[in-house]
Structure 1
């Protein structure tokens, strides 16, 4: 009885503190960070889910180079590099004294293993195409890696900064899915599936030690629960806050900081171009005319987001604003559907768990039904989306944000889930890769965007905003998100 009474009093005191604008005392050695999606695994070289990189990028795993918060490519495990005049040979000077979390030394042999593993026929790397230009990786000495390309690739260095290009050791590569071992400032502690991943500071890290000793990443899929967890002090930060409609609560509360930034994520209504009725470009254009993108941004993102008309964002070099290429025009949409013989067609939209997808599906369905289409919304979990839609190509349409930066290459692939096949696009993309002058490359990027706008292999909706909410006194988290990552290496408590 006495124990129960003490517990009740303790709970009452806690609630009174919250009501007075307080929160549970914060351990300044710990950062509790929230994410909406739990990754299906923890190896960024073996899975497509952005959530894998959001947990591990720069924290557990590192590549030769990395992308900083401002979008620039900066040194990581390579402290410098040299590029030959013909653009074919990259010579990387590797950092000395680097070890993996299990003590395995990092040297050129690791680089050779990591890149050769990525391009191998049996590779499961979701971005295998990034490594296709590599003709060979050689080790003149342990601290030098010489990567020779089969043809110049203006994007090679940027691509090697992606999470898919991190370094892995031969002895642990096969177990990284559940027990990741990298060279980063944090070492994996444990994964309580369905709840959280825990990391601790790696004392043997080659660089500056992070200020935060323990990182706990909690997975909270429901936007209302995410809001409640932040308000209750159960979390310190939610870098990609899933409930924009709740922002006013945080903006008017001096316990919190709200940071609105941009991502490289294009939210699109992906269409299966090999399946009727989407194998007819008139139907795809009809869908683009049928949806009011500005109204969708208002309904789904509380007005935060930039409508787009092709597969690029304003932060990307060579961006062309094509948002008005298909103005909201239900009459034009009906006419195109009638012309294509698709009036009254039935379609299914598979919706993965993120709030933007589930809410966006409801908005899209309402607009498509207004032009005479029969729409069935099917919510599915993330693992099923990856298996059925992304890998199995078994879908009509889906709403998803492609968050990787400057990823125009996905429409040039022979085998990708939306089954788009354009010889013109592929030829133009090869010119884009070969271009070494930045202005020329930007101009060709514009050509690629115009081809996609004309063909509409997907309905390009808007740029996913980055909505960050964290406790006042926490600094060093990214405002913008140039790559899918929750990089906490610069995070620190200032009060």
Structure 2
């Protein structure tokens, strides 16, 4: 048996690492060299096999319309079936995907994207500039409610230059513009007569949709001849929505599924002891929020918002809800791993006396509010809400916890109720995060917050090419958000998932979002 045969047997699970090491050294390899060969084998993708996934999220209101994507069930499908102009690499950069290259004018106001000429849709038609423009117009139209619409508002004009070049003119310079096209809403769709069919499953990605039951199940099959070399390895992927944490954990332990996201951290010790199951953790931009509608009483008073921010015990939440898989938050969404993080911003902590002071400033001696929550918002959201309710009592604040149904939470509660639970996977740059969730008028501005100074800085920082000045602007924006914004952000979390040891992944993954930024279907493989 050759070293290549040994490596193949290791990858396929025919032999274990111990047998591989013994065989490699019998062939003359040293222990260190054998370990190197083992590591190389573990990172060599293999074609074939099946993968079953159990996701916490998914809703019966889900749709293939990319403008409506708002949960992990759809994000994973979107990235597997469609491609964007760019994708984020493990080192945090925006690399070309459908775009072979891109370049900007010195003021970063005009961007030229050149498309690959070898890309075809799953129906055999070739990708052209018309498909890109029609896809973007779907999100930018006046009637569109797409979550990406605010980020595309900066485009003042776009035009095709032939079949494989698109030129974008922006209202002002934006050095981060290529990052926009990694967004899960912006998988390019096929154009027909200048428009896309938003419900069509035809895409340029490595997989086709064989079955789609919203909020229940999706079945994907690998395309032959996918234009991306070294991607799309698994023959068939089935995604199941399993909202209940106990059911999701049990489905992995019994082998019903091979991978689950967001395991219940209180019971994760059961998985750690289970042979053949691996726990995968990622740092990133994940954060949990309790958004308050700042245009609705009593949350329209900044002192009420500050009282609530001081009445939550962040350390307790990290310890009891995240089981230590995270860190305290400071009521602003930029994580320490993102450029321009403001490390000088004073960390807010639990302080009932300060909470009482702000209540007094608001003319109140006590406060009654209702917090709408469900574990569909994030794993442990109900427990976090109950802990918040207890800690707030010391400040004279009565937080009534109203538990909502998991199904339909994102369509019926989030953005609808004046005080609720939510989470954000974050974005790779401050501009993208602030523009999506904090800019005045953004469809996903979950707090309905409008701060003139903040919005002025948002536009100025986006066009500022001096890195020092940019850092100052984003630092001030984080301070304004923390002290005046409508979101309580008590904690940042690690992404945690659990999987059978048959599931393999590259040594470096993109840590912005869960499961290789939800691109695991294309990038991972099974043994």
Shorter-chain TM-score bucket reads: 0.7 to 0.9
The answer (yes or no) to whether the contact 1:293–1:461 under 8 Å persists in 2 is: yes
From 423, 426, 436, the equivalent of 1:404 is 426
Matched, 1:169 2:190: yes
The answer (yes or no) to whether the contact 1:259–1:468 under 8 Å persists in 2 is: yes
| Residue 284 of structure 1, CA deviation | 1.0
SS at 1:244's partner residue? coil
Alpha-carbon distance in 2 for matches of 1:349, 1:86: 46
Q: 1:250 to 1:69 in 2, by over 3 A?
A: farther
Alpha-carbon distance in 2 for matches of 1:274, 1:115: 31
Q: Residue in 2 aligned with 1:474?
A: 503
Matched, 1:338 2:360: yes
Alpha-carbon distance in 2 for matches of 1:384, 1:250: 29
Q: Residue in 1 aligned with 2:475?
A: 446
Q: Residue in 1 aligned with 2:8?
A: none
Matched, 1:211 2:233: yes
SS at 2:491's partner residue? strand
Q: 1:348 to 1:248 in 2, by over 3 A?
A: same
When the two structures are aligned, how many residues end up with a matched partner?
A: 464
Matched, 1:348 2:381: no
| Residue 422 of structure 1, CA deviation | 0.8
From 351, 360, 366, the equivalent of 1:329 is 351
Alpha-carbon distance in 2 for matches of 1:412, 1:193: 31
Matched, 1:222 2:249: no
Worse-matched range after superposition: 369-378 or 301-310: 369-378
From 132, 138, 143, the equivalent of 1:122 is 143
Q: 1:80 to 1:32 in 2, by over 3 A?
A: same
The answer (yes or no) to whether the contact 2:119–2:127 under 8 Å persists in 1 is: yes
The answer (yes or no) to whether the contact 1:320–1:449 under 8 Å persists in 2 is: yes
From 400, 409, 416, the equivalent of 1:376 is 400
Within 5 Å, which residues of 2 pair with 1:421-440?
Answer: 421-440=450-469
Within 5 Å, which residues of 2 pair with 1:85-100?
Answer: 85-100=106-121
Alpha-carbon distance in 1 for matches of 2:419, 2:501: 41
Q: 1:440 to 1:154 in 2, by over 3 A?
A: same
| Residue 150 of structure 1, CA deviation | 2.3
From 52, 56, 60, the equivalent of 1:32 is 52
Q: Residue in 1 aligned with 2:522?
A: 489
Q: 1:151 to 1:335 in 2, by over 3 A?
A: closer
Q: 1:92 to 1:425 in 2, by over 3 A?
A: same
From 458, 462, 483, the equivalent of 2:487 is 458
The answer (yes or no) to whether the contact 2:161–2:167 under 8 Å persists in 1 is: yes
| Residue 290 of structure 1, CA deviation | 0.8
Q: 1:132 to 1:36 in 2, by over 3 A?
A: same
Alpha-carbon distance in 2 for matches of 1:401, 1:226: 20
* 1:104-156 Cα distance to aligned partner (Å, 9 max, x none): 32111111212222222122311201111212222221122222222111221
The answer (yes or no) to whether the contact 1:102–1:181 under 8 Å persists in 2 is: yes
* TM-score under structure 2 length normalisation: 0.82
Matched, 1:64 2:94: no
Alpha-carbon distance in 2 for matches of 1:74, 1:216: 28
The answer (yes or no) to whether the contact 2:67–2:139 under 8 Å persists in 1 is: no
Within 5 Å, which residues of 2 pair with 1:303-314?
Answer: 303-309=324-330, 310-314=332-336
Alpha-carbon distance in 2 for matches of 1:294, 1:322: 19
5+ residue gaps, structure 1, are 1-26
| Residue 381 of structure 1, CA deviation | 3.8
| Residue 247 of structure 1, CA deviation | 2.1
